[in-house]
Amino acid sequence: MTKRQTILRAVVIGLVVILATVIADGVLARMHLSWLAWVIDVGVALLLTIGVWGMFGASSPLFGGVVDGSRIQRSVAALTFDDGPSPDTTPKILDALKAEGVRATFFVLGKHAEQYPEIVERIVREGHELGNHGYDHGILAFAGPAQVHRQLHRTERILKQSGAPPVRVFRAPHGFRSPFVSSTARRLGYATCAWSAGVFDTAKPGADVIVKRSVKALKPGAILLLHDADGWGSDDRSQTAEALPAILDAARSEGYELLTMSEIAALDPPKPISWRRLAIVATVIVVLAAIGLARVDRGEVTAIFDTFRSLSIPLLILSLIANFISVAFKAVIWKASLDSVPGVKAPYRAVVPAIFVGFLLNTVLIARLGEVGRMVVLRKRLAKDGQDVPISTMTATVVMEQLVLGITLAVLLVAMVFSVDGVPDWAGRGTLILLGVVLAGILGVAVVEIISRWRLQRGDVAEDYARTWWRSTLRTIEFHLHAVSRGAQLLRRPWLAIFSFSAGILSWVAQIIGIYLALAAFNIDTHRVAAACVVFLVSNLVGFIPLVPGNLGVFQIAVATALSQAFDINFGAAVTFAIGLQVIEVALGAGLGFVFLSLAGLSFGDVRRTISRTEEEEAGVRIGPPPVVSDVRGGALGT
């Protein structure tokens, strides 16, 4: 089973469990057993959370103790290489290790050891440790004891045929484990190993980046996860071999002794979880949560479900389609921005999945990370096609796309607020408030500058802090202006620009239509066109300041308050509509985003870590000589 198949199966199982819980809730509510329904709800939520942690957490002790070096205090670390051996990379890695007299652990795949037994012999001959990584890199998250036994035993037999001594360490592919993996491995004499830091060398970020990540991850007991082959194909791992000498130099200079995994395991043996303690903690959580939730009137919850059951399914489907079209038009704008950059060929089959992944990440993370996340996904997809698009260029296209959407949104809001009958006056004032905030920001900068000049003239300070702040700010502004300049190539192609702005208008119009259809589905008839416009305005205003992931709670309160105040709609009905609207807007976009994320072989953790590295790269691009400012004292902008 592949990684994406594993994730999809886990999602399906989770959805089935949630559906069964909802059905059980309905039955128990009618039997006047609300307290039991809450107990089941909290218990299922806790069970799913713990299950995901145990299955997908490489260092999780839930399904058996693992070697992760977390309790080691000495300056020791381990280098581990997964998925080999390979004739292209493994010998180079062995050469570098031999030159420095360092031993490492190679978690080999049986299928590769079967192909290259001479490399396995060299690994053993030069004093390194062999680890079992299964035969074919099959994911073991849903594996039973027999399947785990086959993977380990088949690889063990191949290694013995190559003259290897008994292998005593094992690492599950991707660290995913079912409840049977560690126990079966332990019966076969293996210690299950995890890692403390994934270097993500498989993304091929460059040897210098691999070195930087590895050195940053060094700490007492550190276990670095590197790769000397591709578990699924024949992807290049030469950057890892190129980076290894510098990693070894850094480890030696920082005083670290590099050990094998068996030596790490001797210092920090696997420690299984205390099931008794876990059961006590879980029981306490369930009981306390159920007692607290029991104060909630289950009848109100049932009333909300009754409202949802009375919805117009055809109108809901049309609303979903309208929201899909809205997101798709955003992909059209981004594609046009990418097409305007010379040398970049981004097909829709790469852009559309990335834009939906961004939509998903905007739902579960803050919006900024969602935009960076879709760049990460698109860059990875284009890299497979042989296109290495710089982060600055990718940023430029996103900045241009956001600029087009911002301009079209402003035009549409002004036209909507002052032309649609029934839109309250405060909506127009809200639009003007946004302009006021921008002007206030400019005024604040001016005040800082004036105060700085005044203090310098009086001689109160020895350093021009405003100038220092301006230097830093101007570097950032320069970076973003450069990005806008690159992205502005779109505006230099009139027909492409017209096409993009038209797509922007259509994207927002499709969103308004989706809101209108949702209002109709919820049987809200009061000034429906005006109400749709107000909801559109409020949702976008709230979106400018993402207080929590997906603005969950904030969105519902803002929309419900606006509808109840402007159109005298019952607040409870307005809240129910707001919940339903967010479900509609998220369901299709985020659902497709999750599918595309899984098909790309990525998890949320992968994307979060890659986002962090991308932001570091982006920040590095901004670093450079300070912008040209006056040397005359008397203000950062003084000339």
Residues 85 and 154 reside in one and the same domain = yes
Q: Which of 308-322, 339-353, 383-397 has the highest mean pLDDT?
A: 339-353
Residue 71 in domain: no
| Residue 273 to residue 270: CA distance in whole angstroms | 10
Query: What DSSP element (H or E) covers 257?
Result: strand 257-259
Cis-peptide, bond into residue 85, ω within 30° of zero: yes
Range name among 28-37, 346-355, 496-505, 572-581 with the lowest pLDDT average:
28-37
Among candidate residues 153, 158, 104, 141, the one with its CA nearest the CA of residue 5: 141
Output the pLDDT for position 631.
Answer: 39
Asked if residue 141 and residue 217 are part of one domain, the reply reads yes
- Max distance between CA atoms of the chain, in angstroms, equals 84
Same-domain check for residues 281 and 263: no
Question: How far is 99 from 373, CA to CA, in rounded Å?
Answer: 40
At residue 579, the 3 state secondary structure works out as helix
DSSP string across 384-432: HTT----HHHHHHHHHHHHHHHHHHHHHHHHHHHHHSTT--HHHHHHHH
Do residues 250 and 279 both lie within one domain? no
Note the pLDDT of residue 166. 94
Highest mean pLDDT among 39-53, 209-223, 287-301, 524-538: 209-223
- pLDDT band, very low/low/confident/very high, at 447 (cuts 50, 70, 90): low
Integer Cα distance of 341 and 457 in angstroms: 48
Task: Calculate the alpha carbon distances from 178 to 63, 65, 392 in Å.
Answer: 7, 13, 41
Q: Measured between alpha carbons, how far is 250 from 463 in angstroms, rounded to an integer?
A: 38
Domain that holds residue 14: 3-60+274-303
Q: Of 161, 168, 202, 194, which is closest to residue 65 (Cα–Cα)?
A: 194
- The answer to whether position 297 is within a domain reads yes
R_g of the chain computed on alpha carbons: 29
Helix/strand/coil percent split, the chain, to 5? 70, 5, 25
CA–CA distance, 110 with 116 (Å, rounded to integer)? 10
| CA-closest candidate to residue 566, choices 437, 421, 431 | 421
pLDDT over threshold 50, residue 469? no
**pLDDT value at residue 462:** 46
Do 355 and 227 lie in one domain? The reply is no
Residue 637, pLDDT score: 33
Q: What is the pLDDT of residue 231?
A: 86
* pLDDT given for residue 456 in this prediction: 57
Residue in 60, 76, 56, 83 with CA at minimum distance from that of residue 141 = 56
Confidence of residue 413 (pLDDT cuts 50, 70, 90): confident
Write the CATH number for 92.
3.20.20.370
93: pLDDT strictly greater than 80: yes
Q: Are residues 284 and 324 in the same domain?
A: no
Could you tell me where the DSSP H helices lie in 294-390? Answer: 298-309, 313-339, 348-364, 367-384
For the cut 80, the answer to whether the pLDDT of residue 131 exceeds it is yes
Residue 308 lies in a domain: no
Residue 115: which pLDDT band, with cuts at 50, 70 and 90? very high
CA 55 to CA 66: how far, in whole Å? 13
Within-domain flag for 164 = yes
pLDDT band at 136 (very low <50, low <70, confident <90, very high): very high
Residue by residue, DSSP assigns 64-117 as S--B--TT--SSEEEEEEES---TTTHHHHHHHHHHHT---EEEE-HHHHHH-H
Examine the pLDDT at 438 and tell me if it is beyond 50.
no
pLDDT of residue 545: 62
Strands of 126-236 (E only): list them. Answer: 129-132, 169-170, 191-192, 197-198, 222-227
Reply yes or no on whether the pLDDT at 309 is more than 70: no
**pLDDT at residue 149 tops 70:** yes
Query: Would 331 be classed as within a structural domain?
Result: yes
> Rounded to a whole number, what is the distance in angstroms from the first to the last CA of the chain?
67
Domain membership of residue 510 (yes or no) is no
Whole-angstrom distance, CA of residue 60 vs CA of residue 174: 13
Of 180, 174, 208, nearest to 194 by C-alpha is 174
Is the pLDDT confidence value at 159 over 70? Answer: yes
For residue 67, tell me if it sits in a domain: no
Residues 423 and 416: their CA atoms lie apart, in Å, by 8
Residue 3 pLDDT: 80
Q: Do 185 and 143 contact (CB within 8 A), yes or no?
A: no
DSSP helix/strand/coil, 131: strand
Q: What is the pLDDT of residue 233?
A: 75
For 50-69, write each residue's pLDDT tens digit: 888 889 888 888 899 999 99
Looking up tokens 């004891």 gives: 145
CA of residue 613 relative to chain centroid, distance: 12
**Cα(103)–Cα(251) distance, integer angstroms:** 13
Query: What does DSSP say about strands 76-82 and 105-108: parallel, antiparallel, or unpaired?
Result: parallel
Tokens 């900045």 sit on residue: 399
Q: What is the pLDDT of residues 63-89, one digit of tens each?
A: 999 999 999 999 999 999 999 999 999
Amino acid (1-letter code) at residue 381: R
Does 30 lie in the same domain as 80? no
482-540: pLDDT as tens digits:
555 554 566 667 888 889 999 999 999 999 999 999 898 888 887 888 888 888 888 87
Q: Which amino acid is at 511?
A: Q
For 59, counting Cβ atoms within 10 Å of its Cβ (0-12 exposed, 13-18 middle, 19+ buried), the class is middle
Whole-number pLDDT of residue 446: 59
Is residue 288, in this structure, part of any structural domain at all? Answer: yes
Q: How many domains does the chain have?
A: 3
Quote the DSSP letter at residue 388: -
In degrees, rounded to 5, the angle at the alpha carbon of residue 262 between the alpha carbons of residues 256 and 263 is 40
* Mean pLDDT of all residues in 36-41: 80
Q: Tell me, yes or no, whether 295 and 364 share the same domain.
A: no
Residues 288 and 185 in one domain: no
Provide the residue type at 512 as one letter. Answer: I
pLDDT reported for residue 547: 59
- The most confident of the ranges 1-15, 129-143, 489-503 is 129-143
> Which of the residues are catalytic?
82, 227
Same domain, 343 and 477: yes
What are the residues whose beta carbons fall under 8 Å from the beta carbon of 495, sequence distance 6 or more? none
| pTM, 2 dp | 0.60
- The 3-state DSSP class for residue 527 equals coil
At 48 the pLDDT is 87
**Tens-digit pLDDT profile for residues 596-623:** 776 665 556 556 656 555 555 555 544 4
Average predicted confidence (pLDDT) for the chain: 80
- What's the gap between Cα 116 and its chain centre? 37
- 337 plus 388 within the same structural domain: yes
Residue type, 91: P
Q: What is the pLDDT of residue 633?
A: 36
pLDDT value, residue 52: 87
| Cβ 34 vs Cβ 28: under 8 Å | yes
pLDDT of residue 427: 66
Separation of alpha carbons 150 and 135, rounded Å: 8
Residue that wins the pLDDT comparison between 587 and 49: 49
Structure tokens at 141: 């998250």
Q: Domain check: are 387 and 279 in the same one?
A: no
